A and B are shown apart, each in its own frame.
Chain A
Amino acid sequence: MAMNGVNAADAVRDTIYRATMYLDAQKWEDWLGLCDESFHYAIKSFSPEINYDMIYLQGSRKEMLTMMRLLPKHNTDHSPLSRHTSVYTVDVAPDGKTASAVSSFVVYQNMLDGVNAHIDAGESRLFLVGKYIDKLTIEDGKARFIAREVRLENRRLDKGSHWPI
């Protein structure tokens, strides 16, 4: 049964905030547990330098899962990321079965490895700024991601990251 608009919007916000917490905790499979089988993920940014809307990373749910499972085989920066997400808008479809949402986020890098861990570890630095543009399906009172576009303002990404944002 479709939910009323207020409850559906609450379910969407709940899913977006849970996703933030799972991503911060690097619980990748729990994060993907919030995603529909048809889920598509993309990190994008517009570059005025080359006048091109770029895709920095994209993949299906399966491809993201494969990528996560291979992470232990890769060298990576260990500094954890903290995402601060604010859901700005939730628009529920008239039939209550789907919704779209726009959220603002900033990502801080909590230095562990740093440039020189002796000096940098324990410091938090602004890493990324952008918006989440989400599409979700709503079923049995729960919202699940169909698509997430991470729209970055950044084109300077320094060491970058192996992790989804």
Chain B
Amino acid sequence: MPARNHAQWTATPPLKGDEWIDSRIYSDQAVFDDELERIFKKVWVPVCHESELSKPYDFRTFSIANEPILVTRGPDNQVRAFLNVCPHRGMLIERRPSGSFLEGQPSGNPKRITCMFHAWQFDLKGNCVYVAREKEGYQDRLCKEDVGLRRLRCEVKFGGFVWVTLDDNPAVGLEDWAGKPFECLRKTLEAEPMEVFHYHKAIIETNYKLWHDTNSEFYHDFMHYHNRVTGFNDAYFARKNESFEHGHVVVGTFEVNYQNYEGFESRAGLSFPHLPPNQWYMIDLFPGFNFNLRGSALRCDIVTPLGPNKVMIEFRGLGLKRDTPEERQTRINHHNSIWGPFGRNLHEDLIGVTGQGTTMRPGTEPRRVLHGRQENQTIHDENGMRHYYDEWGRWMNRLPNDPEQPWAARAEAQPAVAAAE
């Protein structure tokens, strides 16, 4: 067909209803606001790795769905999460990204979480232990026991990642949420302690789901010279995309031929425990978290949606805590030559999703985005994205290909699609 006029361009594609979506789900403010309330305030979020809080009194700060979060390791070695908000007058308690409460602060004592504004202090379990001039101001009307921090559900799991949810009563526990997709790597990731050696962030003008889409589909490997020369063979094209409950997807492994890229080397010598050499697994968790193991280095992407057309992506690289300095250097090189901010692939991926963000800015005409490749659920099949948007539609009560319609309308409008599922 030659280039199309407007009616042809905006016509429903000749695909089943779950094989394309409406770009308004990437660009509408109302959809975005709904996502924070209905999804991000309900799911388990991997905020960091326990090695970032290696000693008692260490802390890290984050945000989930605009809510500031404080994660600490207590003197009892337990990792806990709190809302990073002072119960007095709403001050952000800890402003730094990381540090230790072992040191005293200008307004507070060592081993205390102190709000600098009025010197209220909390212990590492979130109990309020000091209110300045408490009796003088509150008499017997309010006491320390009334003003503890807001604690959040927090678990360390799946290789030492720290998971937090804003929901006191999540629909499922963390094991039920992500245990099955992690099964392919659980033995590997839990064999021995890991350590983060890489961190950087990107703030990109695109929707967070477009980043997750890129992690969920490998058809875009045509964009990566590195992946073409190290990957494209029969075993690569046989890799399976396996869908799991709750919208998660795992991309199966194969042996990557790193030495086919000039200047690169096999990673066999530093394979993670219990893995054959040069394997490549990918775990994509709904709604936007990715664990990507290429033989000798683990990468983790965490998205923080900032707007319908803006996302922060935090990139971490991990090795084994017991690495010798030489082994660590090699792992770092393996990780960063592809995935670092100056690496071969990540720059290309980010250019790709930035381009999508440009065409799907708020106010642009709704477009049809195709997710219709069917290749027996192998590597270039887009079943991973279809599975994701099926879950997204349920959480949002919106049809991905017509977000003004409730999810319930799907079965009536598209019986053939429902049957195909």
Query: What 0/1 pattern do residues 97 to 109 of B give for CB contact below 8 A with A?
Result: 1110000000000
Query: What 0/1 pattern do residues 342 to 358 of B give for CB contact below 8 A with A?
Result: 11101110110010011
Q: Is the CB of B347 within 8 A of A47?
A: no
- Chain A residues contacting B52 (CB-CB under 8 Å) are 49-51
Q: Is the CB of B336 within 8 A of A162?
A: no
Distance in angstroms between the alpha carbons of A66 and B263 in the assembled complex: 7
Distance in angstroms between the alpha carbons of A56 and B98 in the assembled complex: 21
Query: What 0/1 pattern do residues 50 to 65 of B give for CB contact below 8 A with A?
Result: 0110100000100000
* Among A54, A156, A164, contact of B201 (Cβ-Cβ < 8 Å): A156
Q: Is the CB of A76 within 8 A of B333?
A: no
Asked if B172 lies at the interface with its beta carbon under 8 angstroms from chain A, I say no
Given contacts A47-B199, A67-B263, A75-B223, contact A57 B358 (CB under 8 A): no
Given contacts A63-B263, A75-B351, contact A56 B340 (CB under 8 A): yes
- Chain A residues contacting B204 (CB-CB under 8 Å) are 158-159
B304 → chain A closest CB, angstroms: 12
The range of chain A's interface size is 35 or more
Asked if B142 lies at the interface with its beta carbon under 8 angstroms from chain A, I say no
Q: Is the CB of B347 within 8 A of A55?
A: no
Q: Is the CB of A56 within 8 A of B342?
A: yes
Asked if A6 lies at the interface with its beta carbon under 8 angstroms from chain B, I say no
Asked if A155 lies at the interface with its beta carbon under 8 angstroms from chain B, I say yes
Asked if B197 lies at the interface with its beta carbon under 8 angstroms from chain A, I say yes
- Chain B residues contacting A162 (CB-CB under 8 Å) are 342, 344, 347
Given contacts A70-B262, A157-B200, A162-B342, contact A49 B98 (CB under 8 A): yes
Q: Is the CB of A160 within 8 A of B97?
A: no
Q: Is the CB of B342 within 8 A of A160?
A: yes
Main secondary structure of the interface of A (DSSP, over half): loop
Q: Is the CB of A52 within 8 A of B196?
A: yes
Q: Is the CB of B342 within 8 A of A54?
A: no
Main secondary structure of the interface of B (DSSP, over half): mixed
Asked if A4 lies at the interface with its beta carbon under 8 angstroms from chain B, I say no
Closest Cβ neighbor of B337 among chain A residues = A57
Distance in angstroms between the alpha carbons of A73 and B262 in the assembled complex: 12
Q: Is the CB of B341 within 8 A of A157?
A: yes
- Chain B residues contacting A73 (CB-CB under 8 Å) are 225
Distance in angstroms between the alpha carbons of A77 and B348 in the assembled complex: 8
Query: What 0/1 pattern do residues 174 to 204 of B give for CB contact below 8 A with A?
Result: 0000000000000000000000111111111
Asked if B19 lies at the interface with its beta carbon under 8 angstroms from chain A, I say no
Q: Is the CB of A160 within 8 A of B205?
A: no
B45 → chain A closest CB, angstroms: 16
Closest Cβ neighbor of A155 among chain B residues = B200
Distance in angstroms between the alpha carbons of A119 and B342 in the assembled complex: 26
Contacts between chains A and B (CB distance < 8 A), count: 113
Asked if B316 lies at the interface with its beta carbon under 8 angstroms from chain A, I say yes
Asked if A58 lies at the interface with its beta carbon under 8 angstroms from chain B, I say yes
* Among A45, A48, A54, A116, contact of B98 (Cβ-Cβ < 8 Å): A48
A75 → chain B closest CB, angstroms: 5
Q: Is the CB of B351 within 8 A of A57?
A: no
Q: Is the CB of B98 within 8 A of A157?
A: no
Q: Is the CB of B354 within 8 A of A159?
A: yes
Asked if A115 lies at the interface with its beta carbon under 8 angstroms from chain B, I say yes
Closest Cβ neighbor of A76 among chain B residues = B347
Q: Is the CB of B342 within 8 A of A161?
A: yes
Asked if B332 lies at the interface with its beta carbon under 8 angstroms from chain A, I say yes
Q: Is the CB of A51 within 8 A of B98?
A: yes
Distance in angstroms between the alpha carbons of A70 and B350 in the assembled complex: 19
In A14-60, the 8 Å CB interface with B consists of 43, 45, 47-52, 54-58
In A129-165, the 8 Å CB interface with B consists of 155-165
Could you give 23 example pairs across A and B, Cβ below 8 Å?
A49-B60, A50-B196, A50-B197, A51-B98, A52-B196, A52-B197, A54-B199, A55-B332, A56-B200, A70-B263, A75-B348, A75-B351, A76-B351, A113-B351, A116-B358, A157-B201, A158-B203, A159-B347, A160-B342, A160-B343, A160-B346, A160-B347, A162-B344
- Residues of B whose CB lies within 8 Å of any CB of A are 51-52, 54, 60, 96-99, 196-205, 223, 225-226, 261-263, 316, 329, 332-333, 336-337, 340-344, 346-348, 350-351, 354, 357-358
- Residues of A whose CB lies within 8 Å of any CB of B are 43, 45, 47-52, 54-58, 63, 66-67, 70, 73-77, 113, 115-116, 155-165
The 5 lowest CB-CB distance pairs between A and B, nearest first, are A160-B341, A157-B341, A66-B263, A57-B342, A73-B225
**Beyond the given A49-B97, A54-B198, A75-B351, could you list 10 further A-B residue pairs with CB under 8 A, ordered by the A residue number?**
A54-B199, A70-B263, A74-B226, A75-B348, A157-B202, A159-B347, A160-B202, A160-B342, A163-B342, A165-B342
